Structure 1
């Protein structure tokens, strides 16, 4: 059985000379990563040119075909340990800065990224640009990057961690075994700030808070979650929630958008020959791009606001996940592919007015709201309780179409946000969450008897939540309130 682990992040107190050394090491690691990716591309192109590869591709899919592909990958060096041999000479060159374990982990990281191309999950893997590498890690806490008595040791560098004396959570966490250590950096106000992430074995200790009481009455309670691209509806026995995902990111996103527009205007003004008359980039012009000082200043501002955006989004999701788990620990959610929703439409369609419909879908809003991140946080917190996030069959359940009173299914258009029950109406997302809460354990059908039993209470809680949402100044349009 796989052992559980969690991450403890601590700030590093660095001197100027240590920051220069760390910057040098991060740059060496970036170049090693790019060299590994480049070598993998070369080997893959050589493999594709072989006759054996083309003949195996024509075979029907199955175990025999997979076995032949695996043998071919080993023959052409498209395996992880072959890349460890490739990175060894580079590590010897920079052995004063990079240890063997760290270089092997860089090679592993490059190979795992390239596996998406190898198994046709992605078309390409991007190389890391200057200052884009954010973290470097070791393989164990015995050699290379390691943690000892409040310090991080790495090839002669001794980096002190910042821990408050009265922080009981950190003291309890450090009693667990350190599996390996990761050094991370973030761009904060025109400078890199360095952190250490200790990957610890076990379950994170509970944070003691005198204002909150430990909730034990949520054990084995059912909760249904209907998650969308920008909103989420939650239903439990005692409470229903209809809220916007990561509400604090909207203002920051506007600020980032304005900075990026200013950057684009500056770039076009400094490089007029790099663009065509219609505004697209002239690919035949191979001159170097020229960036003004104002552009570089704006770029740093955008980087700082993107960091804040990421931090706010994660904080909002953590708080919402905590609230959801306080309602119950038997959670049901529909299986949904957010990557599929991000992709542009393939077919060209024309609307009733004779104009072409936009091929854009939900890529931008999913990038801002990150609904999948919320489910990841909930799943991680449930694993510490030996529970799991129950994913129901979307095509079999059809929560947005089912009516438990008439026991029928009715298709609705996306703009129809309310279910009409004759004497009253129920918000569509909240009703879907209610149905998901009353799914059977197999995740294939809805338990009608549970729906009939809990619907009167749900109706009261639903009306109270709708009244609360109406008091919000600008609720999302997708709520229909």
Structure 2
């Protein structure tokens, strides 16, 4: 019988490590990487043997349904493509490294490899990626009873005692540690040319509420409606008391130019030191099997790039966490459109020509989405709403058509991407904010917009809209997509 799933959250604490402990941890992470890669290699062999069998080809041609799924499940078990069969495979390997890797940690590594390979089996990915030297960034246990565990302010793992750093005034951490610890994860990050180690305690329950300056707990979000129109680089938010039009992860843009310059510098250096590895047209010559040569300056630049990318990740997550808290302070009944950001990242398939007779670029929003991570904001909101037994209300985009709908005329009018304002005759409204307003007034069936609610709240929305536009006009620079 499967275990009942309970809500959980993560508390991250910095580990105070000595130099000799860092050496031991580095060795253990590399052993974990080798076990992970060995599991992926074994699964690839088993999957290859499965695909060559006649029974697999027969079942593959069957009509999709419960019977086909049952036969596939039997084949997977027969050929060892199951999580627990991988646990048996990893057992003798772990025995060789028992001084460094315990049994439960090795099983979690095997489970992690199986979950990655399962995506390939279910056609959710094209291939699995083996981890290179230094690319294993976390290991975890199965419970806080054995293996990697937390006890009395220390993380214990096979003879290593790693103290955690908790500040005296960190009330949140002290409250969180009162909850039951499910399991412990040791994570490392490359920071300023060295690995820094952290303990991530996965705790049962919901995060404790933070205290304000008066020593009282912060209030829970009100039962109010909020509409979110999220784009590739901006987001519009409309509530009953406030509207917001802002950039997604604004602090990321400060480092984006530096990252691009270093990437170009790395490419030039690599081409200069490896001329035979490239063809005349500039593409990589795959027939050349010589080793790549990297200069000392290249390695220094690569370390700089790694640090900037880490800072970008931190800034992006911090911006999203702050914005999500702002949105939740406006209300907890949140309406958003369902969007395929992966589809927006892909290159266009068809070749098109613009009005001037020139070919349009096939590149779309890959870099922008990679930098701004709009789906991450929605994931953070979803996670925080679960703590209060709620979830995002994802409206039917095909039926709602918020960017085309006019609630005054109850009609749809397709607009071009560069048209950022809607002229109603008596006023002009920014397009993204109007879409957020319509989403806020969506019916509970998530397939229609409530016109009566729109008519009742439009004047209040209009006054809040004008205030937000005035605020944006005072800023030195705003994204072109806002149209301000």
Mark yes or no: TM-score above 0.5: yes
Deviations 1:380-434 (A, max 9, x none): 1111111111111111111011110111111111111111211211111000000
Aligned to 2:198: 195
* Equivalent residues in 2 for 1:78-227, closer than 5 Å: 78-210=81-213, 216=219, 218-227=221-230
Measure how far apart 1:349 and its partner are. 2.8
Q: Structure 1: where are the runs of 5+ without partners? A: none
Aligned to 1:280: 283
Looking at structure 2, the residues matched to 228 and 288 of structure 1 have their Cα atoms a distance apart, in angstroms, of 43
* Equivalent residues in 2 for 1:45-60, closer than 5 Å: 45-60=48-63
Measure how far apart 1:352 and its partner are. 4.0
Measure how far apart 1:42 and its partner are. 1.3
Measure how far apart 1:217 and its partner are. 8.3
Looking at structure 2, the residues matched to 261 and 27 of structure 1 have their Cα atoms a distance apart, in angstroms, of 31
Q: Structure 2: where are the runs of 5+ without partners? A: none
Aligned to 2:465: 462
Looking at structure 2, the residues matched to 455 and 31 of structure 1 have their Cα atoms a distance apart, in angstroms, of 61
Contact 1:10-1:162 within 8 A present in 2 as well: yes
Looking at structure 2, the residues matched to 289 and 85 of structure 1 have their Cα atoms a distance apart, in angstroms, of 38
The DSSP-based 3-state class of the residue aligned with 2:335 is: strand
Looking at structure 2, the residues matched to 212 and 23 of structure 1 have their Cα atoms a distance apart, in angstroms, of 42
Contact 1:400-1:432 within 8 A present in 2 as well: yes
Measure how far apart 1:363 and its partner are. 1.0
Looking at structure 2, the residues matched to 433 and 192 of structure 1 have their Cα atoms a distance apart, in angstroms, of 43
Contact 2:259-2:308 within 8 A present in 1 as well: yes
Looking at structure 1, the residues matched to 264 and 148 of structure 2 have their Cα atoms a distance apart, in angstroms, of 41
Aligned to 1:478: 481
Contact 2:421-2:483 within 8 A present in 1 as well: yes
TM-score by length of structure 1 reads 0.98
Deviations 1:203-245 (A, max 9, x none): 1111112179866584210000000110000000110000000
The DSSP-based 3-state class of the residue aligned with 2:228 is: strand
Measure how far apart 1:346 and its partner are. 2.2
Looking at structure 1, the residues matched to 155 and 255 of structure 2 have their Cα atoms a distance apart, in angstroms, of 34
The DSSP-based 3-state class of the residue aligned with 1:210 is: coil
The DSSP-based 3-state class of the residue aligned with 2:162 is: strand
Aligned to 2:442: 439
Aligned-residue RMSD, C-alpha:
1.4
Are positions 1:28 and 2:31 aligned together?
yes
Deviations 1:92-119 (A, max 9, x none): 1111000011011001101111111100
Contact 1:215-1:326 within 8 A present in 2 as well: no
Looking at structure 2, the residues matched to 350 and 277 of structure 1 have their Cα atoms a distance apart, in angstroms, of 29
Q: Which range is displaced more, 341-350 or 432-441?
A: 341-350
Aligned to 2:242: 239
**Which aligned segments of 4 or more residues in structure 1 are displaced greater than 4 angstroms?**
211-218
Looking at structure 2, the residues matched to 104 and 205 of structure 1 have their Cα atoms a distance apart, in angstroms, of 31
Q: Given the superposition, is the C-alpha separation of residues 353 and 434 from structure 1 closer, same or farther in structure 2, using an over 3 Å criterion? A: same
Looking at structure 2, the residues matched to 235 and 64 of structure 1 have their Cα atoms a distance apart, in angstroms, of 48
TM-score by length of structure 2 reads 0.97
Deviations 1:431-456 (A, max 9, x none): 00000000111111111111000000
Aligned to 1:403: 406
Tell me the number of residue pairs that the alignment of Structure 1 and Structure 2 aligns.
481
> Paired residue for 1:370, among 367, 370, 373?
373
Aligned to 2:299: 296
Deviations 1:261-296 (A, max 9, x none): 111111111101001111110111000001111111
Looking at structure 1, the residues matched to 92 and 219 of structure 2 have their Cα atoms a distance apart, in angstroms, of 56
Contact 2:33-2:131 within 8 A present in 1 as well: yes
Deviations 1:241-269 (A, max 9, x none): 00000000012111111111111111111
Q: Given the superposition, is the C-alpha separation of residues 8 and 218 from structure 1 closer, same or farther in structure 2, using an over 3 Å criterion? A: closer
Looking at structure 2, the residues matched to 315 and 29 of structure 1 have their Cα atoms a distance apart, in angstroms, of 30
Measure how far apart 1:348 and its partner are. 2.9
